[in-house]
Chain A
Amino acid sequence: MLGLFKAAKAVRQVKILIVDDDTSVRETLRDRLVRQGWDVAAVCDGHQALAAAAENKPDVVLLDIHMPQMDGLTALECFRRDPDLSDVPVMMVTGSSQVSDISRAASCNVADYVTKPFNATDLVTRVEQVLRRTQRSTTL
């Protein structure tokens, strides 16, 4: 019976949302994450990130800071204020290593803070760690 139950349980594809105004980073990272078997969407500013997340809630958001229209830290604060999106794990992936940016992100319960340039394989490992932490806390 247990085996049947397991077989019947659908395996949901992990959904990642990339938010970066740099086309090269967006595309290269998307290709790498798709190879991981994940469902990946990519947008180029904070406004688009909030709209995309509201439409299809991601398991993890990879969020740049310096972007036109709405920057990443403002977008992060909007995520935290939105009752539907407040629990979405957000990882900052940014060229900024300024203490003010790091502390502002930390105050919004950011899941991780990765500085550019970064190795995509290392990033995948860190996303997996965030996913494991999230799944564990959901189970608990």
Chain B
Amino acid sequence: MMEKARDLMQIGVKTIAKDGSVYDAIGILGKHRISGLPVMDGPTLVGIITEKDILQLVFRQEHLPGAVEKYMTREVVTFDENDDIAQIWTCFVRQSYRRVPIMREDRLVGIISRTDLIRARMRDFGTGRPSRTSNSAEQTPLVRDVMTAGLLTTTLGAPLLEAAETMVAHGVTGLPVVDDCMRLLGILSEKDVLRLLDSSPSRSWHVRDVMTPDVVTFNVDDDLFDVCRCLAENSFRRVPVLDRGRLVGIVSRADLILYILKHRTVLFRGRALVESCVTA
């Protein structure tokens, strides 16, 4: 039977009232380690405010007076709890969404994120993981098959605002921090920047003051399955990829979703759900 949104959605999602402040939103996002908050007018969903929205705001202006209502995205794509998961996959891939609210009539009842989709597909991996053979055209995919190369990076001594500007300008949610030899020293994420901007922003901050130094990495020849599991089970959205100790690429949740869709027949042979994604 086709999986429905209600089978996959997260129930009991964190929300914020439309008259809550942006600083309240930052607090909730940070405390619960989430990247987006539905904005409510009583029981009615009226918008959504995301880490990315807030990062762009705090970068542009020093103070953020007024309620989240003033800054939120009003046009939010939603799905019904009885919609097929295939429709949601298509939406995520074509529109680069991170999450979609799930509705029952006019009421918000849940959220489906990229993580939920990856986690669901991980269950398929778990039961039907292909074995690697030396001469098979359908061998298990490796990290090198999916990683994005040619990365934007930053350095320890770069001014934080400059790095944040790069993130906003290029629409990325994280920057690897490297030395002159492309050895990875850490990652600067939207969350790191937000955390600092929430406390005591200063123009004298540098990347080294905020970055996350302990980073989970993978090697170019590691099994993609292990990356899938890592990104599905943890809160981070990307993992740097190393080759002989040097940073050569990155794999994000979005990369995985695209790859899984593109290679669906190999990865999930005979699985009706993914086939229907293609025809949707």
Q: Give the B-binding residues of A (Cβ under 8 A).
A: 22, 24-25, 27-29, 31-32, 93, 95, 116-121, 123
Contacts of B104 in A (CB 8 A): 24, 27-28
Q: What separation, in Å, do the CA atoms of A123 and B109 have in the docked complex? A: 16
B6 touches A32 (CB 8 A): yes
Q: What separation, in Å, do the CA atoms of A140 and B49 have in the docked complex? A: 52
Q: What separation, in Å, do the CA atoms of A31 and B75 have in the docked complex? A: 29
A121-B11 contact, Cβ under 8 Å, with A24-B107, A24-B109:
no
Is B111 in contact with chain A by the CB < 8 A criterion? yes
Chain B's closest residue to A22 (CB) is B12
Instruction: Report B109-132 CB contacts with A as 1/0, cut-off 8 Å.
Output: 111000010010000000000000
What are the 8 closest A-B residue pairs judged by CB atoms, nearest first?
A116-B12, A117-B10, A117-B13, A28-B109, A117-B12, A25-B12, A24-B109, A28-B11
Q: What separation, in Å, do the CA atoms of A47 and B152 have in the docked complex? A: 56
B110 touches A28 (CB 8 A): yes
A28 touches B6 (CB 8 A): yes
Within the complex, the shortest CB–CB distance from A104 to chain B, in Å, comes to 19
Q: How many residues of B contact A (CB 8 A)?
A: 18
Question: Which of B9, B13, B107, B119 contacts A116 (CB under 8 A)?
Answer: B13
A116 touches B11 (CB 8 A): yes
Chain B's closest residue to A114 (CB) is B12
Is B14 in contact with chain A by the CB < 8 A criterion? yes
Contacts of A119 in B (CB 8 A): 8-11, 116, 119
Contacts of A95 in B (CB 8 A): 12, 14
Q: What separation, in Å, do the CA atoms of A74 and B202 have in the docked complex? A: 45
Is B207 in contact with chain A by the CB < 8 A criterion? no
Name the residue among B9, B104, B107 with the largest chain A CB count within 10 angstroms.
B9
Chain A's closest residue to B8 (CB) is A119
Contacts of A118 in B (CB 8 A): 10-12
Chain B's closest residue to A122 (CB) is B119
Contacts of B256 in A (CB 8 A): none
Within the complex, the shortest CB–CB distance from B39 to chain A, in Å, comes to 15
Name the residue among A25, A31, A117 with the largest chain B CB count within 10 angstroms.
A117
Within the complex, the shortest CB–CB distance from A60 to chain B, in Å, comes to 17
A25-B7 contact, Cβ under 8 Å, with A117-B110, A119-B116:
no
